Amino acid sequence: MSLKPLSPADQLFLWLEKRQQPMHVAGLQLFTFPEDAGPRYIRDLVEEMRSFNTPQSPFNKRLVSRFGQYFWEEDDQFDLEHHFRHRALPKPGRIRELLSYVSSAHSNLMHRERPLWEVHLIEGVQGRRFALYSKVHHAMFDGIAAMRMGSRALTTDPDERNLPPIWAMPPRRRPAGLQIPNPVEVATGLARFTAGMSKQVATMPAVLGEIAKVARKSRRDPNFVSFFQAPPSLLNSKITGSRRFAAQSWPMARFKAVAKAFDCTLNDVVLAVCGSALRNYLISQQALPDKPLIAMVPVSLRRDDSSEGNQIAMILANLGTEVADPALRLKRVKDSVQEAKSRYKAMSPAEILNYTALMMAPAAIQLMTGLAPGLQPFNVIISNVPGPKEPLYWNGARLTGMYPVSIPVDQVALNITLTSYVDHLEFGLTACRRTLPSMQRLLDYLEQGLRDLEVAGDLR
């Protein structure tokens, strides 16, 4: 039987995994029944899904280890019952019960002697709805690839039937390009940086010059975001393996209206709303730092003088959590994001990669070794991923919500990832349950933060 070695980057996710730090990503998809669905609709759907008992690559691969190196090999004892699970929510089947189920399922490590994925079909959701919770190990897919895989299993045709589940879909190549950065991908970036040292040396004068410039500017301007500024906070404590997941949708039009009123981007508004929510949450826990929280944020940088178009870079954004004025908070966010974008526009792609790797080195060292708990370049991860622009269906059921379920890591106990779907923004908040008690209150605080900006912009 042939063995396929994992890349160093993919192996890293296995090495980093601990009981308190599961390294899988997931997605929660919420569907409404087709209009013609009868009483056997879910039962028939489950039976049809179980009929696809021969998975396609990589869903048929399991891990083996040889002399410290991990390989993928085909699982010749594949058991679909272990990977596909049919569950029913306890009545009354509210979203609260659904999120509680996802929180519990996302806390569990996957067994490495089997292929590292699970799909849960969850029935009993109020309003003639059901859900799919799908998780895969980060060694198999990065976050963007997992989301694309989930979307590719769907269709824009409400009448199309007999669609296979994700594990039975023909394989595609793993998408190339930059992933959504988080501390794990930062460590991966460092691995790429050191492995390709001969190609990177030429960029070092510019990179080191930029870092020196940042250090000087951070001393002159207290509002400038450098990699020295993130304050100690409740968000940056040691984590356990227990997870809490919270999710909610907001109309994109509300965020766009605020962006227009304040002459900023939609992503600026998202960050300001998150800053407001974190401020109010930490006040409720009597744990708000005097200095502003810093978010690590992937942004798209369009290089108009290059054929490369958009590219993803990682920035540090000031969330303005030390101020009560929502308009001032948004200005702090906007100014910090714009400064970072301007800095990157003067750099080549290779320089951006190396600058990011060096800037995030403390986070990578702490993640890999636990030896640098005092070096905290950011407090929270906030990612905004573009999603499908048209309504999608699966075997006649309309997709009404899609929420990313991500990875908190030690010293970064909260991950906020959102995606767009048609005309809504779908927020998924994943946190350590014990480190951040009552984290679900952040959903109410997000709404309050958006409403405060609408009032400040005379939109209500």
Residues marked active site are found at 138
What are the angstrom distances between the C-alpha of 175 and each of 71, 145, 349, 418?
20, 6, 18, 20
Cross-strand partners of 412: 409
Our CA angle for 409, 387, 397, nearest 5°, is: 105
Q: Which two tokens stand for residue 436?
A: 């951040």
Q: Evaluate whether 239 touches 21 at the Cβ level (below 8 Å).
A: yes
SS3 280: helix
Q: Evaluate whether 336 touches 367 at the Cβ level (below 8 Å).
A: no
Q: Evaluate whether 200 touches 193 at the Cβ level (below 8 Å).
A: yes
Per DSSP bridges, beta strands 414-421 and 380-385 are: parallel
CA distance 15 to 17: 6
Neighbours of 385 (CB within 10 A): 15
Could you tell me where the DSSP H helices lie in 196-265?
Answer: 197-200, 204-220, 252-261
CA dihedral 216, 217, 219, 222 (to 10 degrees): -170
What are the angstrom distances between the C-alpha of 154 and each of 34, 130, 175?
14, 15, 18
Task: Give the closest residue to 178 by CA, choosing from 302, 58, 315, 298.
Answer: 298
What are φ and ψ of residue 374, in 5° steps? -80, -10
User: The tokens 């029913």 sit on which residue?
Assistant: 88
SS3 323: coil
Q: How many CA atoms lie within 13 A of 364 on its CB side?
A: 17
Q: Which two tokens stand for residue 309?
A: 């178009």
